[in-house]
Structure 1
Amino acid sequence: MNGICNGIYHEKQVRELCALHALNNLFQERDAFSKAELDEICQSLSPHVWINPHRSLLGLGNYDVNVIMAALQRKGYEAVWYDKRKPVECLRLAEICGFILNVPSDYRLGFVLLPLKRRHWVAIRQVAGTYYNLDSKLDVPHIIGQDNELLEYLREQLESKEKEMFIIVSKDVETHHLWQKEDFEYTSAKR
């Protein structure tokens, strides 16, 4: 299920653990996080509740953004919600560790498509100079390309009202807003 493909670590989907897979794929480490660690984060976020609002009722995963943000903070990183009204050209890619997309996902029971609205976490990052889509539902990582191809890919993804993006940066980069070009003029990137 998990493995190295052309030197890229890629976890494949198990149960509802896409948040765990996205984090491990982002950090390119099998044990960057474990299910037990994410469950512990859920418990710490809502310690006195019987049904935890930060994961699925059955405890199979389906972690929310609060769990991802807390997990990233444990490693000195932050998830910055990206305002889709801004053009992606305002991003300083050299300061960004990677991206996590939250996208709509079909829910299937075998071959039957159920009318349930689900969400799915997807990691995108650069490995050895090339950006990859590390979606755990993919058999292998998909090559996005270099900076220009990444910006076009992100632009296309963010055209959907259903998709959200989080920029993953170090705490210092987040504190000083170094992930965003200060002198970038919004009108210059409008089409």
Structure 2
Amino acid sequence: MGEIYHERQRLELCAVHALNNLLQRAEYSQAGAEEICRGLSPNSVINPHRSFLGTGNYDVNVIMAALQTLDYAAVWWDKRRSLESLALSEIFGFILNIPSPISLGFLSLPITRKHWIAVRQINGIYYNLDSKLKSPARLGGPRELKDFLQCCIARGSCEILLVVTKEVDEARLWIVEDQAT
């Protein structure tokens, strides 16, 4: 098996790392994300799509715009639906926004912040490509992926974006429609 591309966390660039880890290449940089922010709010003194400190902390709009430049779409997953209705063969990958503990060195604080992570199938195996991990975490097959996603949902404050091609999005091929509808 070839090497899995995995960027590690730097500053508040988890959105950039999640995009690059999902794509398995260094497609975006902080400068590229900043350019997207300026395009989203060209006349803003303080850009609402990132940290006012300029250290990152990009919002979902930056991720969605970045994916669109590569002919991908981000579909917001309705967590009320069963994960069994996902058409995994049509989904390129996942970007999740999850709560992440804040720590100062070895001291873990009792508060959390939102953190972007990528999950993707590589060589037939799903991996958690979280930039806070030392290396990609092997999840396994479709059942283990769904268990991981369900666990993230159960912890609360989790959002899931399905990353699909524009064609898959337009035809809604990412979901197995309910028989009752």
Change (3 A) 1:182 1:10: same
> In 2, are the aligned partners of 1:82 and 1:165 still within 8 Å (CA)?
yes
Structure 2 counterpart of 1:8, from 4, 10, 14: 4
Q: Which residue of 2 aligns with 1:61?
A: 56
Q: Which residue of 1 aligns with 2:104?
A: 109
Unaligned runs of 5+ in 1: 187-191
Matches within 5 A, 1:79-94: 79-94=74-89
Residue 154 of structure 1 and its aligned partner are, at CA, apart by: 1.3
Q: How far does the alpha carbon of each residue in 1:87-146 deviate from its partner, in whole angstroms, 9 at most, with x for none?
A: 100000000000011011222333444565421000000000000000000001000001
Q: How far does the alpha carbon of each residue in 1:62-92 deviate from its partner, in whole angstroms, 9 at most, with x for none?
A: 0000000000000000111101110100000
Q: Which residue of 2 aligns with 1:136?
A: 131
Structure 2 counterpart of 1:44, from 39, 46, 58: 39
Tell me the TM-score normalized by structure 2. 0.94
Q: Which residue of 1 aligns with 2:71?
A: 76
Tell me the TM-score normalized by structure 1. 0.89
Q: Count residues in correspondence.
A: 181
Please state if 1:149 is matched with 2:144: yes
Structure 2 counterpart of 1:178, from 168, 173, 176: 173
Amino acid at match of 1:155: Q
**Sequence identity, in percent?**
54
Please state if 1:18 is matched with 2:14: yes
Secondary structure at 1:102 match in 2: strand
After TM superposition, the runs of 4+ consecutive aligned structure 1 residues lying more than 6 A away are none
Change (3 A) 1:62 1:129: same
> In 1, are the aligned partners of 2:98 and 2:152 still within 8 Å (CA)?
no
Q: Which residue of 2 aligns with 1:189?
A: none
Amino acid at match of 2:36: I
Amino acid at match of 2:153: L
